[in-house]
Chains A and B, each alone.
Chain A
Amino acid sequence: MNQMLTRKRRLKLESDTGWGYVFIAVALIAFSLFTAYPVINAFVISLQEYRPLGSTYVGLENFKESFTDTLFWKAVKNTVVYTLLTVPANIFISFLIAILIIPFKKRTQTIFKAVYYLPAVASGVALAVVWLWIFDPLKSGIANQIVAFFGMSNQNWLGSSATAMFSLVLMSWLSSHGTAIIIYLAALLGIDNSYYEAAEIDGATFLQKLWYIVVPFLKPTTLFLLVTGLIGSFQVFQNAYLMTGGGPDHATTMVGLLIFNNAFTYFEFGKAAAQSLVLAAIIAVISFAQFKFMGKDIEY
Chain B
Amino acid sequence: MQYFQLGDGQYGLPAYMAIHSIGGNRQFLEEAGIDWRSVQQNGWTYDEFREAIKAGVVKDASGETTRYGFVFATAGVTSKDYLSIMAKSAGLPEYFDENLKFTYTSKNFLGLLEAIREMIDDGSMPKELSSIDAGKRWNMFLTGQTMITGKGLASFENSARLNNEKIQANDGSAVADSIEAEYIALPVPTFNGADYVPTTVVDGYIALRGKKEPTEQHIHNIALAMHYLSSGSIAANYSNELFLSPITESARNAEVLEEYPRNEDNLKADQAMMDKAVAARTDIPTELAAEAIKIETEVIVPKLQALLADEITPQEMYDAVKAAAVKSFGEDGVVVD
Which A residues form the contact surface with B (CB < 8 A)? 53, 71, 132, 135-139, 154, 156-161, 244-250, 253, 261, 265-267
Contacts and interface: CB of A to CB of B under 8 A. Distances in A.
Of listed B77, B127, B306, residue having the most chain A CB within 10 A: B306
A158 B302 contact: no
Given A137-B128, A156-B128, A248 B309 contact: yes
Nearest to A139: B64
A154 B128 contact: yes
B131 interface: yes
A247 B64 CA distance: 28
Contact of B311 (A138, A249, A265): A249
Interface residues of B, number: 30
B131 A265 contact: no
B297 to A, nearest CB: 6
Given A137-B128, A158-B131, A249 B306 contact: yes
Contact of A249 (B64, B126, B302): B302
A58 B131 CA distance: 40
Contacts of B308: 159, 248
Contacts of B290: 266-267
B305 A247 contact: yes
A156 B132 CA distance: 10
Given A136-B136, A247-B76, A248-B309, A160 B130 contact: yes
Contacts of A253: 302
A138 B306 contact: no
A138 B177 CA distance: 15
A157 B127 CA distance: 12
B76 A245 contact: yes
B211 to A, nearest CB: 6
Given A248-B130, A266-B293, A266-B294, A159 B309 contact: yes
Interface string B284-301: 000000100110011001
Of listed A71, A139, A156, residue having the most chain B CB within 10 A: A156
Given A71-B298, A249-B312, A266-B293, A161 B306 contact: yes
B75 to A, nearest CB: 7
Contacts of A247: 76, 79, 130, 301-302, 305-306
A157 B131 contact: yes
Contacts of B305: 159, 247-249
Given A137-B128, A138-B126, A160-B311, A245 B77 contact: yes
Interface in B127-154: 127-133, 136, 145
B303 interface: yes
A65 to B, nearest CB: 12
Nearest to B129: A159
A250 B129 CA distance: 17
Contacts of A160: 130, 309, 311
A53 B211 contact: yes
Contacts of B76: 244-245, 247
A249 B312 CA distance: 10
Contacts of B128: 137-138, 154, 156, 159
Contacts of A156: 127-128, 130-131, 309
A244 B74 CA distance: 11
A282 to B, nearest CB: 22
A245 B301 CA distance: 10
A139 B132 CA distance: 13
7 contacts: A138-B128, A161-B311, A245-B76, A247-B305, A248-B305, A248-B306, A249-B302
Nearest to A258: B298
Of all A-B residue pairs in the complex, the 4 with the closest CB atoms, nearest first, are A159-B130, A137-B128, A159-B131, A248-B305
Contacts of B126: 137-138
Nearest to A241: B76
A258 B38 CA distance: 46
Contacts of A159: 75, 128-131, 305, 308-309
A266 B211 contact: no
A163 B132 CA distance: 16
